[in-house]
Amino acid sequence: MRIHAELVFVLFVALCGGCSDPPAPQEICDNELDDDGDRAADCDDPDCRSAPACALPVELCDNDLDDDGDDAVDCDDPDCAAEPACNPPPQELCDNDLDDDGDDAVDCDDSDCAAEPACAPPLQELCDNDLDDDGDNAVDCDDPDCSGVDPCIQLAVPGDIVIVEIMAAPLAVADAAGEWIELRNTTAADIDISGWVLHDIDAVAPEWHIIDGHGPVVVPAGGLLVLGALADAAANGGVAVDCAWAGLTLDDNADEIVLEVKGEQIDTVVYATPAWPLAASASLSLDPDSQTAEANDAPGAWCAGAAAYNAVDHGTPGTDNPACP
């Protein structure tokens, strides 16, 4: 009997192959059964927390949907608080003198403010609609903004403004900086020459300048006005230039100066050596008795400026000319 029992044991071991206890049942997370007998089925079972079927829905922050079903959509959902799409950069406030968005541009200098009413350019006066477009209580041609603008350019007749002094060859500074001419108003009323044209008579390369002071350029009744290459007295030889020109040069020996408005030549001077008393560092000065549009055509009506207005140059810019010898 002992031999038989041992044989049975050996046979059992051989057939079983060293069997162990059967594995515990595992929870299947999407079959609505408590597979592992722990009284928690599917996603209610802690074993299923990492299962895809049991993952909680995630809010997508830029699709206009309540993905996680918490009644909060996109950036209104606290789940999106850290998302870049829900944290826009700071915006520029356009009227607080601060660089709110950190781009080194403040208020209206920042392109972000281009459409802001506070940064809109001021309204411009339209000069022919009987309206005060820019709100300055001046309408059309009564508004200084319309000086020199059609239809507000002031007209005149020949001789109303006369060229009475010309500096073509300064020595204290370069010609391009120190040239000037002086105009006299021969009438009893102020004349605004804004919009008038100053030019020469060169058929090959004419030089033109439209007089523009960004407002009225008034030659007072019976008074004088100086036009010149530069308005800065520190750079032009010490001349008080009322309105600077651009694109004009005065030849030292021969040239033409034409003052014109809407095709009407108000005065013209054509000078040339040797008939005219041209001299370096001296202006051409018109005798006070010859200050008309006809008399200033004659070279004998002119003389060289004698009064020094700087250490080198002579003339009387902005003041009455002395009588010629």
| From 91-100, 158-167, 189-198, the region with the lowest mean pLDDT | 91-100
In the chain, pLDDT over 90 holds for what percent of residues? 62
| From 72-76, 245-249, 256-260, the region with the lowest mean pLDDT | 72-76
pLDDT the model gives residue 16 = 53
Q: Report yes or no on 100 lying in a domain.
A: no
Average pLDDT on 15-43 reads: 77
Range of the domain at 244: 161-304
pLDDT the model gives residue 117 = 82
Q: Report yes or no on 192 lying in a domain.
A: yes
Cβ 217 vs Cβ 229: under 8 Å: no
Average pLDDT on 258-274 reads: 97
209 or 90, higher pLDDT: 209
> How many helices and strands, by DSSP H and E, does the chain display?
3, 12
Q: Report yes or no on 11 lying in a domain.
A: no
- Count of alpha carbons within 13 angstroms of residue 129, beta-carbon side: 7
pLDDT the model gives residue 115 = 86
Q: Would the pLDDT of 122 be above 90?
A: no
Give the chain's mean pLDDT.
90
**194-253 pLDDT, tens digit each:** 999 999 998 888 999 999 978 899 999 999 999 999 999 999 999 999 999 999 999 999
Q: Report yes or no on 104 lying in a domain.
A: no
Q: Report yes or no on 86 lying in a domain.
A: no
| 3-state secondary structure at position 100 | coil
Report angle CA 63, 60, 55 to the nearest 5 degrees. Answer: 140
CB-based contacts of 149, cutoff 8 Å, min separation 6: 127, 195
Dist. CA 266–CA 158, nearest whole Å? 4
Residue 44 binned pLDDT confidence (cut-offs 50, 70, 90): confident
Supply the DSSP string of 250-298, one letter for each residue. Answer: --SSEEEEEEEETTEEEEEEEEETTTS--BTTB-EEE-GGG-STTGGGS
Residue 123 binned pLDDT confidence (cut-offs 50, 70, 90): confident
pLDDT the model gives residue 249 = 96
Residue 7 binned pLDDT confidence (cut-offs 50, 70, 90): low
Terminal Cα-to-Cα distance of the chain (whole angstroms): 168
Q: How far is CA 194 from CA 147, 155, 215, 313, in A?
A: 6, 10, 7, 29
What is the number of domains present in the chain?
1
Average pLDDT on 256-276 reads: 97
Residue 16 is inside which H or E element, if any? Answer: helix 2-16
Dist. CA 59–CA 72, nearest whole Å? 9
Q: Report yes or no on 105 lying in a domain.
A: no
82 or 258, higher pLDDT: 258
Q: Would the pLDDT of 147 be above 80?
A: yes
CATH number at residue 221: 2.60.40.1260
303 or 53, higher pLDDT: 303
pLDDT the model gives residue 146 = 94
Cβ 105 vs Cβ 99: under 8 Å: yes
Dist. CA 297–CA 276, nearest whole Å? 11
